[in-house]
Structures are given as C-alpha cells and as structure tokens.
Amino acid sequence: MLGVAYFAVYLLSGYVVIRSLLPGKRLPARLWLGAALGILLMMWLPALLAFFFRFSVKAHMLALIPLCALTLLCHFGLRDKRAPVRAFSAADRRLLILMACVALPLTALGAYLQYTHVLRPVDGALHVGQSTYGDLPLHLGIISSLRNASFPPDYSILPGERLVYPFLMDSFSTSFMLMGMNLRWAAIFPAILMMGLVFSGYMILADRMSDGRGSVAVWAMLFVFVNGGLGFLYSVDTLGVSNGSSDLNPLQAGTWLDRLETILYGWYQTPANHADFTYYNLRWSNLIVDMLIPQRTFLGGWCILLPCVYLLYDGFMDREGRISARQAALLGVMAGGLPLLHTHSFLALGLLSAGWLFYDLIRSRGKTCLSWLLYGGVACLLAAPQLFFWTFRHTAGNSGFVRFQFNWVNNSGGNGLRDGYLTFWIKNVGLPLILLILSLFDKNKKRRMIAAGAFVIFIVSELLLFQPNEYDNNKLFYVWWALCAVLAADYAVALYDRLRGLRSRYVLAAITAVCCFATGTLSIARECVSDYQMFGEEAVKTARYVEENTPEHCTFMTWTQHINPVSALAGRDIVCGPGLWLYWHGYDLSAREQDIRDFYADPAAHEDILRKYGVDYILVGDYERSSLRIDDDALDELYPKVFESEWGTMRVYRAVKKDD
C-alpha cells in the first residue's frame, strides 16, 4: 500500500501542475496529461537522487522535496491566471462515453494479459505467455537488481558495463518493490495503469486531431490497436485442402478448424509477425500483444510520447502560432525525459517535430520560431546528458547501430526485396493503408499537415536502421502509423457517409471490418490462450533461497541462459547474460562465455576466473548441465555446497575454497 500511496502523490502533483499551467485544456486531456506527467516525475526524481543516495527508499523519500517544490512553483508562481479552468462539457461527456466503450475494454484486455503473462503462479511454478517468453526475464532482472543499486547502474547480466538499455520503465517498477510489492505485482500494476493511459490517451489525441469526431477516433483506435494486415488470407486460402506441414507453409497445413488450431496453439503461427518470416514475410506485429505487453520500454515510451504529440499538435499545428510559453516549455520537459525511457520514442518525436517545424514555419512565415526554439531548447538541454552519457557513448564507432537499408525488413541485410514494395506494405498493414493513400489525394489541408510530420518518420525509417536488430525499426513505424491511422479513419468515415442511400453500404462496411481486423483479432485470441512454464518449482525455490540468504549485489557464476532464476527473480549479478539480448545491445560475449565453459569443465585449473569476475557463488542447474561439461566431483571437493533443491536439480556453491 505504501507504493500505491507514493504513486498517488505523484499523480496528484502531475494534475496540479497541468491544471495550473494549462487550465484551458479539456478535463479528460488535463487528467490524462497530469497522470502522464506524474509518472514521468516518479521515474526521474528518485533516479536523480539515486546518484547521491543509491536507488533506495531514502532516495525516494527525499525525491518528495523537489516534487513538492515543483508543484508549489507551478501552482503559485507559474500558474496561468489569465485563462479560467475549462469546465466539463457535453463534448467531454461524449468523449468519455466513447472511451468507456473502446479504451476501457482494451485496458481490461491488457490487464488480463498482464495478469496471465507475468509470472503467473501455477502449482509452485511460474508461467508466462507466448509474447513474454523471450524478453520478460531481461526486464525482471533489471527491476529486481536495481534495488539499492548505485547510479549510474551496471548491467546485472554483464557486471562492469554501464546499463545503456533504457531503464526508467523498469526502475519505475523497482520503486514499487522497494515499498513492499513483490516482483510480479511490481511489474504488473504500473503496466496496467500505463496501458490504460496509452489507450485513453490515444483516443483523446485522435479526437483532437479529428476535431471531435468520435467515429473517426474510434476507427483510428481500432486501426492502431487491432492492427494486423491481410495475413489472415493465407489461412483461409483453399480451406478444404492441406497445402503444407509444420515445417513448410504451416498456415495452410491441415483443413478448416485444423488451421485455426495451428493459429491458436502454435508458436508464433498467427498471420501477423509470423515466425517463418522468410516464407510469408509477415512482419507487422499487433501492438497490444507483441509490443505493449512484452516490450515494457515501448509501453513506457508511448505513455509519455502520446502526451508529447498531443501538446505538439495542439500547440503548434492546430493553433497557428498561439502556443503559450508554458505549453512549449512543458512539452520540452516531457520530451527531454524520453531518451532513458524509450530512445525510439524520442527519435520518432524528434523526426515528427522536424517535419511539423518545417511545415509550420512556412505556413506562419517564421512567427512561431521563438516557441519552437523554447520547446526544442528545453528538450535538447534535458536529453543531451542522457544521449551523451549513455546512448552515444555506447553506439559511437559501432556500425551496427546506424546504417543504410532501404525498405526495412523486406530488404533484409540489403539482399534484395522479398515482396514488391507496395505488396509488402499492403499485405502487412492491410486495407487501412489503402485508405491512407487515397486520403492523401483529397484536397484536405489538415490531413496533409498531419502527413507532413508523420511521413518524415516513415521516410527516415525506410532508409536507415538504428539498431543491430533491423526489426526494431518497427518502433518508429508504429508512431508513423498511429498518426496516419487518423487520416485513414477520417477517409473511411467520409467514404461511408458518401455511400448514404446505398443499402449495401452496411454489408460493405462489415466486409471491410473483417478484412481490417481479422488478423489482429486472431493474434489477440492466440495470446489470450497462450501459456508456458518459465520457471519450474525447483527454480523458484532456488531463487527464494538466493533472495533470502545471499548479499544483495553479489555475483553468481551461471551459464548464459535467458531463463535464469538468479538474475531474473533474485536480482543478483551474473558473469554473463544471454546473447539473445546483449548481442543486440552491441556486446561481444565470446570471451566471457569461454571463461564460463573453462571454469565448469575444470574448476581446479581455473580458479582465477572466479577472481577475475568477482564471483561469490556458483550455480549448477538444468541449463548448466544441458549446455556445459561440468566436473561435479571437483566442485563438491573444492567449494562448500550451501543449497541443494529437493530433487537435486539445482545446487548453489559458495565460491570460497573449503580449505581457505
């Protein structure tokens, strides 16, 4: 309860700041912006104090002092006294009703998936879902290892290397752990709240960009969050004949309900983001199940990115230069806090801002230049230390991070297009992309203005990759699509209105809806029934022993498996984590991996390896036995065994020789 109360203080402060600086905003927007600002402040203030007091309860309590000072300054010193607080209106009521009908059910879906996909206890074991099976242990390890950690923190899975992965979303969960929540709920609770803010916030943004037309906002919501493309057509082609097998053409293996069973219970067999991407080239993920649930930094980034886009659009693009200095400065502060939360969101916002800046300066003939300078100056001032101290320091000289590649994953490795250019995008994004293209031919000033910023993101992402994993450019494309979905929805609603009087328009609308949402619906349905054991009962008991009986920041020798109870559940350092994550962060792990192999194979001859990495404990478990050659007799002879699980599959040795 202490963590919830602490969080409530930040939410209240965020709302007071927004109400003081931007009283003219609609009530739903003020509540949303205030909650997002409160979350950002709770991420940043304790982290800043941690440079002096570790990431501890003390740092969190002291962080309330600058929070109080900032809130009082905004309320009494910077408050906009000229503008009255905007009252709740009929338009606000209509928007809230639409949010209750669309955003609230999506939030409930997100809450269910968080509950089932994050360490769900089953008979002493811990289960997850398909989408969280790969990356969840990385985030759990960061969350659990940051307790009382000195700042700047190191990787717990690569001690001695600074944690350059954006960690604020995970340290946000660590704050709840420090105040009494267990690891599972410290990960779930803030994620559910942030999913609610993303869904409701996008609807507020879409409503603002569509001038209050609720139908456009609803369709835009569905285009973005139930997205998936036309991949479902592979599954329904020649349903009565089996054209494949589990190894080749699996989407057309079996007949009729067999294919549905493959989609619902196969490993990444949905017709979106399909595992066999070299065969189908289906790479467009569903945002809910493939991004917001497993990609915690993406969720945190969008929680702050969407308010930034709202303030940017509302201030510069739809008010023709009448943005207040307060709004421009607030936008700069929120944008400047993004790099260590989600670097791709910061980059996407920068590209969007560049496109809208150029458009706005031409339109206003330079009248808004000072406002743009204020926003950009504050954002760059706050972002620069993060970029130079963390991001650029790590990527400088590494050619794997920024490189040219045309047409994203359709031209994997620069080896030529797998699909025709438009074919790739249409089959992945689906009919809404066609609606978007058609909308740009209409003589509509507002649509072209929105597209002027959005397509800067698209063009840059089509030409440059910003991470060794080429697929990660999707984090930029989804921002482009979140903006363009409003244009596609606007055109769809206008087209539907033009068909008034045509009796078959309801049938056409139903067919269009099926084509737009069938793939996304199948992806969501698959995730709702997915269930995999991540940590068995023995691993859970081992983690509990380590948590209760070893020093908080000690180091373990283990193998590099990603399902590691010591690093993920107990938050202890390990000599080397998996290349599954660290390779894509730009690290060469070969030397550490060889040292681990050498030690387990011959502990007596390689005691120096323990000293080299400051190892305190040695783990021998299922993964070590299956991946390494282990001299058990030497370990038993040299080092005291301090823990052995009930069935003997997990052992922990203290890395101090018995005769010392």
Residue 179 lies in a domain: yes
Same domain, 187 and 87: yes
User: Six-digit token pair at 394?
Assistant: 């790590």
Same domain, 354 and 462: no
In the block, tokens 């497993």 appear at 294
Residue 546 lies in a domain: yes
Mean pLDDT of 232-258: 90
pLDDT at 362: 87
Q: What percent of the chain has pLDDT over 70?
A: 98
The yes-or-no verdict on residue 20 having pLDDT over 60 is yes
In the block, tokens 């467009």 appear at 284
Same domain, 125 and 182: yes
Same domain, 113 and 232: no
The yes-or-no verdict on residue 123 having pLDDT over 90 is yes
Query: For helices 183-209 and 2-21, what crossing angle results, to 10°?
Result: 20
Spell out where 409-514 has E strands: 464-465
Q: Which pLDDT tens digit goes with each residue over 42-80?
A: 999 999 999 999 999 999 999 999 999 999 999 999 998
Give the end of a domain, one of 396, 424, 451.
Answer: 396
Q: How far is residue 171's CA from residue 340's CA, in Å, rounded to a whole number?
A: 11
pLDDT at 587: 86
DSSP 136: H
Q: How far is residue 557's CA from residue 568's CA, in Å, rounded to a whole number?
A: 14
Mean pLDDT of 620-626: 94
The yes-or-no verdict on residue 289 having pLDDT over 70 is yes
Q: Which pLDDT tens digit goes with each residue over 492-531?
A: 999 999 999 888 999 999 999 999 999 999 999 999 999 9
Confidence of residue 248 (pLDDT cuts 50, 70, 90): confident
Residue 203 lies in a domain: yes
Mean pLDDT of 307-311: 97
Q: Are 572 and 555 in contact (CB under 8 A)?
A: yes
Mean pLDDT of 612-633: 94
Please name the residues in contact with 473: beta carbons below 8 A apart, sequence gap of 6 or more. Answer: 408, 409, 461, 465, 466, 467
pLDDT at 327: 95
Cα angle for residues 491, 494, 499 (degrees, 5° grid): 125
Q: How far is residue 617's CA from residue 546's CA, in Å, rounded to a whole number?
A: 10
Residue 171 lies in a domain: yes
CATH number of residue 622's parent domain = 3.40.50
Q: What DSSP letter does each residue of 556-577 carry, written as one string?
A: EE----SS-HHHHTS--EES--
β-pair type (125-128, 120-122): antiparallel
Residue 509 lies in a domain: yes
Residue with the larger pLDDT of the pair 444 and 35: 35
Same domain, 52 and 193: yes
Give the number of domains in the chain. 3
The yes-or-no verdict on residue 319 having pLDDT over 70 is no
Same domain, 87 and 69: yes
Same domain, 468 and 385: no
User: 3-state DSSP call for residue 12?
Assistant: helix
Confidence of residue 659 (pLDDT cuts 50, 70, 90): confident
Same domain, 579 and 547: yes
β-pair type (158-162, 154-155): antiparallel
Same domain, 303 and 376: yes
Residue 599 lies in a domain: yes
pLDDT at 399: 53
Same domain, 181 and 300: yes
Weakest-pLDDT range from 43-52, 229-238, 480-489: 229-238
Confidence of residue 339 (pLDDT cuts 50, 70, 90): very high
**CA distance readout (Å), 519 to 156, 307, 322, 472:** 38, 29, 43, 21
Give the end of a domain, one of 529, 562, 592.
Answer: 529
Q: Which pLDDT tens digit goes with each residue over 381-405?
A: 999 999 999 888 766 555 567 899 9
Residue 377 lies in a domain: yes
Weakest-pLDDT range from 76-90, 99-113, 188-202, 299-313: 76-90
Give the end of a domain, one of 529, 545, 576.
Answer: 529
Q: Which pLDDT tens digit goes with each residue over 535-582?
A: 999 999 999 999 999 999 999 999 999 999 999 999 999 999 998 888
Residues in the chain: 660
Domain residue limits at 489: 225-291+436-529
Q: Are 496 and 480 in contact (CB under 8 A)?
A: no
Same domain, 305 and 281: no
pLDDT at 580: 81
pLDDT at 397: 52
Q: How far is residue 512's CA from residue 434's CA, in Å, rounded to a whole number?
A: 12
pLDDT at 509: 94
pLDDT at 395: 63
pLDDT at 377: 97
Taking alpha carbons only, the member of 292, 177, 282 closest to residue 226 is 292
The yes-or-no verdict on residue 321 having pLDDT over 70 is no
Q: What DSSP letter does each residue of 479-547 carry, written as one string?
A: HHHHHHHHHHHHHHHHHHHHTTT-TTHHHHHHHHHHHHHHHHHHHHHHHHH--EEEE-HHHHHHHHHHH
Q: What does the radius of gyration of the chain's CA atoms come to, in whole angstroms?
A: 26
Residue 214 lies in a domain: no
Same domain, 270 and 351: no
The yes-or-no verdict on residue 160 having pLDDT over 70 is yes
- Per-chain mean pLDDT for the chain: 94
Q: Which pLDDT tens digit goes with each residue over 194-208?
A: 999 999 999 999 999
